[in-house]
Amino acid sequence: MAESKRRRDDDDAADERRDDEIVDDAADKHADEPGTRDGVATRSNDKTKVDSGRVGFFGRIARFFREVVGELRKVIWPTRNELLTYTTVVIVFVAVVLTIVAALDFAFAKGVLYVFGNSS
């Protein structure tokens, strides 16, 4: 279990290094182009250019779902025993809080009836 987590941490670190390299490459590529400032691309005011890289509505939805699936693959899912333990802890905690709230409700109701009297 610990070995698989360690392997995933190493993969994440490699992904971050690749992302940094991509950003550096993109900054170097656009450093001498008009509409850039210190290697950082800025939005051009030229409205005559047509952006051929625009993606339609359904393309954006498809990209969203691809990114969701990619993020879900990065999740370290709990084992069955961990899941049962977490579920048990939550149920016990909710039962304890429910008992405390019910006891306070009962006590306040009795207190209000004592102070203001019982009409029945």
Task: Walk along the chain (120 residues) and give the pLDDT tens digit of each residue.
Answer: 555 555 565 666 666 666 555 555 555 555 555 555 555 555 555 555 545 568 899 999 999 999 999 999 999 999 999 999 999 999 999 999 999 999 999 999 999 999 988 765
Residue at token pair 């690749």: 18
Distances, alpha carbon 66 to alpha carbons 53, 54, 72, 97, in Å: 18, 17, 10, 40
What is the rounded CA–CA span in Å between residue 89 and residue 111? Answer: 33
Indicate whether this model's pTM tops 0.75: no
CA 94 to chain centre: 25
Domain extents in the chain: 1-41+55-77, 79-120
What CA–CA distance (Å, rounded) separates 94 from 86? Answer: 12
